[in-house]
Amino acid sequence: MKTREEAWKLLTEHTSNPSLIKHALAVEAAMRHFASKGGHDEEKWGIVGLIHDFDYEKHPTAEEHPYAGAEILRGMGVDEEIVRAIMSHGNHTGVTRESAMEKTLFAVDELCGFIVAVSLVRPSKDVRDVKPKSVVKKLKDKAFARAVNREDIKQGFEELGMERNPFIQEVLTAMSGIAEELGLAGEGSNDG
Q: Are 73 and 2 in contact (CB under 8 A)?
A: no
Q: What pLDDT band is residue 83 in, cutting at 50, 70 and 90?
A: very high
pLDDT of residue 2: 83
Cα–Cα distance, 2 to 118 (Å, whole number): 34
Give the pLDDT confidence of 136-150 residue by residue, as tens digits: 999 999 999 999 999
Q: Which residues contact 122 (CB under 8 A, 6 or more apart)?
A: 129, 130, 134
pLDDT at 178 over 50: yes
Q: Are 95 and 87 in contact (CB under 8 A)?
A: yes
pLDDT of residue 191: 43
Give the pLDDT confidence of 24-38 residue by residue, as tens digits: 999 999 999 999 999
pLDDT of residue 190: 45
Q: Are 31 and 40 in contact (CB under 8 A)?
A: no
Which residue from 22, 7, 13 is spatially nearest to 181, judged by alpha carbons? 22
Write down the domain spans for the chain.
Answer: 4-182
CATH number of 4-182: 1.10.3210
Q: Which residues contact 188 (CB under 8 A, 6 or more apart)?
A: none
The pTM is what? 0.94
